[in-house]
Amino acid sequence: MTSRLVPVQKNDIIEVKFEDLTHDGSGVAKIDGYTLFVPFGLPGERANVKVLKTKKNYGYGKLLDVITESEFRVTPECLIYDRCGGCQLQHMSDEGQLLYKHKQVKDALVRIGHLNDVTVHPVIGMDNPWRYRNKAQVPVGEENGSLITGFYQKGSHRIVPMEECLIQEEANDTVVRVVRDLASQLGIRAYDEKNHHGVIRHIIAKYGRKTDEVMVVIITRMKDFPHKKQLIEQIVEHIPNVKSIVHNVNPKRTNVIFGDETNVIWGEPYIYDYIGDIKFAISARSFYQVNPIQTKVLYDKALEYAQLTGNETVIDAYCGIGTISLFLARQAKKVYGVEVVGQAIADAKRNARLNGIENAEFFVGEAEKVIPWWYQQGIQADVIVVDPPRKGCDEALLNTIIDMKPKRVVYVSCNPATLARDLRILEDGGFETKEVQPVDMFPQTGHVELVALMSRVNE
C-alpha cells in the first residue's frame, strides 16, 4: 500500500528541482507533492538524486550530480566538508547564505507567527566569515596505533580525522594538535566507547581573542592516568600562551562530554576575554559565546532595542554568565538576572565584580518560576530581555510577561521557529512586534541568531 501512496522508492534515481532549504541547510524538492530532503542541494537547482529512505510524508535523498547550478553555489574550502557535518552551507556563497537566512526568518514569522507585516532587516554578516569560533571540543580516537582527533561523521560515531577546522580560531587547531601528538608520543590511549576502556575521551581548547590566553581541558575516563605529570609539563613547554590546564573525569558510558569532576591541574582556573569593553572570566565549564565579534553586534542591537535612559528596571531571563545583563546594567537603573545553572550564576556574579558593576543581581532558578515569584513580590520590570534555549520560552514565563506589562520586550533567539511562536503568544497578550534583526553568528552553518523588539500596546 505504501508504494502506491509514495511516488518514489528507496534506491530510485530521479531528477528533481530544489525549491527551498531546511533549517539545517538541506535542499527541499517536491515530487508530486511528496517532500524529499537532500543535503547539499540549493534552491533553483536541478539535480539527479538517489532516494535513500522514504516515510509516509517525506523522504531523504543523496545528491548525485547537479544539472543546473545555483548562482550561489561555490566550491567548499574545507577538504572534509562533505563528511564532517559541522558546517552545512560551505557550498553556498556568503551572499547566498545571508539571503537564505533572511528568508528563513521571514518565512517562520509568517508561517508560524502569522506576523506578515513585521520588518525583518537584512542579516548582519561578518567581514571575514571564517576562523571565528573560540572554543574547540573534539573527540579523540585511534588509527594505526596513533591518536587521531576530528569530528564525528554526520549521523555516526566514526571520527573523521582533521588537522584544521576553517571556522575555528587557528590557535585552537594548534592546541588540539599539540596535545594530541604529545599524548600519543607518551603512549596514552584513546577512550574506546564500544569496550569502555582507554583514557582520553575529548580535548577542549578555549581561546581569549583579545587576551591571547589559552585554556586546555582534557577529559578522561579515569582520574589517574599514565604520564599525567609529563603531559602537563610538555603542554606548558609547547604552548607558550597556555594559562590553564584542566582535567575533567567522565567514567560513564555516555555521549555526554563532561563528567561531574573537574580539577585545575596547572595554572589558573580561568582565562579572560572581552566582548566590547566588558571583561569575562571563562572557566572550563562556563558557557561563553563562541563568536565574540558577532556577539557584540547582537548585544549592541539588544541594547538599542531596550532604549534605556538610566531609570529602568530590567529583567534578564536565561542570563547565563551575565553577558547581556552586564551590557544592560551600564545603562539601566537595576538589572535582575536569572539562570537555572548554578555555576553560570556564580560566573555572572564574578563577572559583575570583575567589571565593577554593582546594579546587577543574579539568581539561580528556572525563569518561569522565579520571575512570577518576583512579580508577586512587587518587582516590576520596565524592560524584559529573554534569551532562551532553542525550545523557546516556557509558557508560564510568557504569561508572566503579559501580566507584568513591561514597556518593552527584547527577545534574543537562536531559533526562528520558536521565536515566531512566542512572538505570536505575546502579540495575543497585548504586545506588538516592531522589528527583527537577524545576525549571522555562525557563518557556513544553517544557524541564525535574532533579536526582536516588542512594545506594549497602549490600552
Instruction: Just list the catalytic residues.
Output: 414
Q: Could you tell me if 132 and 126 are in contact, meaning their C-beta atoms sit under 8 angstroms apart?
A: yes
For the stretch 187-208, what's the b/e string if a residue is b when 16 or more beta carbons lie within 10 angstroms of its beta carbon? ebbbbebeeeebbbbbbbbbbb
For residue 431, the surrounding DSSP H or E stretch is: strand 431-439
Instruction: Report helix, strand and coil shares of the chain as percent, to nearest 5.
Output: 25, 35, 40
Residue 310 CB coordination number (10 Å): 8
Q: What are phi and psi of 215, to 5 degrees?
A: -115, 135
CB 70 within 8 A of CB 43: yes
As beta bridge partners, residue 220 has: 200, 249
Give the DSSP letter of residue 319. Answer: -
Helix ranges, 227-366 (H): 228-238, 292-306, 323-329, 342-354
On whether the CB atoms of residues 412 and 381 are closer than 8 A, the answer is no
Cell 512572538: give the residue: 423
Listed in order, strand segments (DSSP E) in 144-220 are 146-152, 159-161, 200-207, 214-220
Helix (H) or strand (E) holding 52: strand 46-54
